Structure 1
């Protein structure tokens, strides 16, 4: 089977992938996108879900095919569509790709290997494509987080992550326990209740967040700061980073959308705050008896973990163990990236959630899409001779790359 070639291969057709591909294509880079378009959003998010963000968070690095431009095209105003339905964002993404004549190949990459400075990707149909440069837009699916304390307490096979439990019709008349206390936990609870579940329990080890209108206005300017100074986040002190994380946490985690409150405060939804699971017992009828540390006991048919996501590159099964993973420098599971989202492996870039360690928590949300797209697009569009990428912005020898990236990080980074 013939192996095709491309200058740039973008693996993953989620928001970060299509945003980067669109801008690179605009800059004249021959680009191929492989992945089912917004597949995670379509198959791992429930129908009836709403976005927390508004139309000011968009995909276009050029600020042209924005969400607001899409609204205007459809004759809508932001106040008419608040909150934004998931299906509307999917329609916007489709419209956005149409503006750039971008058509991802709806296939899966089963293997990516590196040899002699180029990358070879194998599709699920056995065909291959060779690329000079690769952008990994990995999204969330590879990084589901299962806290060890829950894995050690819950019976094997008794629980599912929120992203794997999005069809709520079969929960009609059932009792459900949701572990978690952020937006997804409560939105799943509301949707499951509205599908006719008999009883829903939500448990978390912290106070229940407030249902109020959050202020996201400060986030966009801070993300845009990365365009002016790609490395500002990594150079920030630990105290400065913690302050920003705390502010971001307060908006994104310690408050929940006001529109969700009335849907959650229902007779069949019971909230157990400041407690954890103490013990679990499987009953003869296949249900689970859950003992909470607040001395409450509940009996449920299903357990759902709304425990979020944590980047770990070693979970990405298609990455070749020898030529990529053994050489890839990581810290706490995340890739160590330079100021243009490039890994220590030349011409291999990582964007989205897996980049938050070096670029800040904003890049786990769509607000970072146009900024990451612009930085990566401009980096990959520069024509360089073979071997020219021996320095970072012409300042440091390649051998000093790890030390430069560490910036005081522990030497255990690998």
Structure 2
């Protein structure tokens, strides 16, 4: 029996995939979303982690805005949200806004056959779709420094590889990085019984200020709040991602790189200071594996030193690269035009392959830093749904009334 062709296949069931599914279903499209809901949040973030994003910037998006985080989790101003709570919220959102449209089979490959997108599932099922949206999150883009390339995976991992800090109890661990992921990973490891050091190129660790709930009128004018933090630039990047796309590529790259740069949350600092050893202004030059791991370092004066450790964790962020979207078959991946390593996207998040869209972190080089965070879900879901409706149904006042 021939498998029915669906309108929209959404690959990935994290915040962006679930939000897009909620909007597309409300618009009357035939949608299936594939993947384990909130998988990366449940399995690739350390137990005990707290979200750096404020609760008011952590809502998934549904057209009527009935299923925001505040409808699931009551919080006081400035209270960080535990990752376990956020993952549970995503699953709660799924049951209410997406329902039976989600299939937990993973997609192993996406190709093009006879003008349709062809999805192959782990279940062995083949699903044809008129359009496809990849909401792959951050996992495909985990960045590991080249200086760690000589180490085998059993002694060198990325921060996204770990769920249980307690697995390192009693071991010597070196964390590379200076951002929230590095600082919180190191803290959780130390609190779980590991001996932990941070290696960072920066000469000083940055820490975010304690948020003030009540501010003067002048303070609010000088530095208004936004989902990306305080200040007029942050307001612009969070509220106008569509405008960011029209900036020169070099400007977009600078904005994405510098907005919300490496810094730790205010609520983490005391815990970190009492638990973690720090080596600042230190560059990791090379690493070798013998009985353990030996790291070759260079300080700000150019002096070389070595550190022996049992395990290295690279908390060095994520870099979007079309070549790393391994779920796309090689011919389809090669057809996705890019600027450098980043995909070229239209105003509707569409790649150079008609009907193929990318949302979430993969869209950050085009639409700016909001796409690095949950706060970008609403804009992406609305914009992509509008394009899908126009493509699949034609302009329709009925179909687009909630978009």
Same fold, TM-score > 0.5, yes or no: yes
Distance (Å, rounded) in 2 between the aligned partners of 1:2 and 1:383: 24
User: Which residue of structure 2 lines up, in the alignment, with residue 235 of structure 1?
Assistant: 246
User: Which residue of structure 2 lines up, in the alignment, with residue 276 of structure 1?
Assistant: 283
User: Which residue of structure 2 lines up, in the alignment, with residue 225 of structure 1?
Assistant: 240
The answer to whether 1:192 aligns with 2:189 is yes
Deviation at 1:363, TM superposition (A): 0.5
1:320 to 311, 326, 329: 329
Q: How big is the alpha-carbon RMSD for the aligned residues of Structure 1 and Structure 2? A: 2.4
Please give the secondary structure, in 2, of the residue aligned with 1:314.
helix
Please give the secondary structure, in 2, of the residue aligned with 1:37.
coil
Residues 260-317 of structure 1, C-alpha deviations (whole Å, 9 max, x = no match): 1011112x5211111112443434xx22232321355332111111111111222222
Please give the secondary structure, in 1, of the residue aligned with 2:28.
coil
Deviation at 1:77, TM superposition (A): 3.3
User: Which residue of structure 2 lines up, in the alignment, with residue 302 of structure 1?
Assistant: 311
Distance (Å, rounded) in 2 between the aligned partners of 1:353 and 1:243: 16
Please give the secondary structure, in 1, of the residue aligned with 2:110.
strand
The answer to whether 1:94 aligns with 2:95 is no
Calculate the TM-score normalised by the size of structure 1: 0.82
Please give the secondary structure, in 1, of the residue aligned with 2:245.
helix
User: Which residue of structure 1 lines up, in the alignment, with residue 177 of structure 2?
Assistant: 180
Please give the secondary structure, in 2, of the residue aligned with 1:235.
coil
Distance (Å, rounded) in 2 between the aligned partners of 1:110 and 1:237: 35
Q: Which range moves more in the overlay, 237-246 or 352-361?
A: 237-246
Q: Which range moves more in the overlay, 233-242 or 13-22?
A: 233-242
User: Which residue of structure 1 lines up, in the alignment, with residue 363 of structure 2?
Assistant: 355
User: Which residue of structure 2 lines up, in the alignment, with residue 134 of structure 1?
Assistant: 132
Deviation at 1:137, TM superposition (A): 0.6
Please give the secondary structure, in 2, of the residue aligned with 1:303.
strand
Kindly tell me: are residues 280 and 345 of structure 1, through their superposed partners in 2, closer, same or farther at Cα, counting changes over 3 Å? closer
Distance (Å, rounded) in 2 between the aligned partners of 1:41 and 1:122: 24
Please give the secondary structure, in 2, of the residue aligned with 1:32.
strand
Q: Which range moves more in the overlay, 207-216 or 88-97?
A: 207-216
Kindly tell me: are residues 26 and 314 of structure 1, through their superposed partners in 2, closer, same or farther at Cα, counting changes over 3 Å? same
Deviation at 1:52, TM superposition (A): 0.7
User: Which residue of structure 2 lines up, in the alignment, with residue 107 of structure 1?
Assistant: 105
Whether contact under 8 Å (1:279, 1:292) holds in the other structure is yes
Distance (Å, rounded) in 1 between the aligned partners of 2:140 and 2:202: 27
Residues 82-108 of structure 1, C-alpha deviations (whole Å, 9 max, x = no match): 111111111221222233243421111
User: Which residue of structure 1 lines up, in the alignment, with residue 261 of structure 2?
Assistant: 253
Deviation at 1:200, TM superposition (A): 0.9
Whether contact under 8 Å (1:55, 1:67) holds in the other structure is no
Deviation at 1:178, TM superposition (A): 0.7
User: Which residue of structure 2 lines up, in the alignment, with residue 65 of structure 1?
Assistant: 66
Deviation at 1:384, TM superposition (A): 5.0
Residues 334-376 of structure 1, C-alpha deviations (whole Å, 9 max, x = no match): 2111110011111111101111111112201111011100100
Structure 2: 5+ residue runs without aligned partners? 212-224, 396-403
User: Which residue of structure 1 lines up, in the alignment, with residue 384 of structure 2?
Assistant: 376
Structure 1: 5+ residue runs without aligned partners? 389-414
Deviation at 1:148, TM superposition (A): 2.3
Kindly tell me: are residues 122 and 370 of structure 1, through their superposed partners in 2, closer, same or farther at Cα, counting changes over 3 Å? same
Please give the secondary structure, in 2, of the residue aligned with 1:78.
coil
- Size of the alignment, in residue pairs? 369
Distance (Å, rounded) in 2 between the aligned partners of 1:353 and 1:41: 15
Deviation at 1:259, TM superposition (A): 0.7
Deviation at 1:6, TM superposition (A): 1.1
Kindly tell me: are residues 52 and 112 of structure 1, through their superposed partners in 2, closer, same or farther at Cα, counting changes over 3 Å? same
Kindly tell me: are residues 155 and 97 of structure 1, through their superposed partners in 2, closer, same or farther at Cα, counting changes over 3 Å? closer
Residues 44-84 of structure 1, C-alpha deviations (whole Å, 9 max, x = no match): 1111000011222211153613535425xx5x2333x7111
Whether contact under 8 Å (1:4, 1:128) holds in the other structure is no
Deviation at 1:220, TM superposition (A): 5.5
Deviation at 1:247, TM superposition (A): 5.5
Kindly tell me: are residues 38 and 385 of structure 1, through their superposed partners in 2, closer, same or farther at Cα, counting changes over 3 Å? closer
The answer to whether 1:209 aligns with 2:224 is no
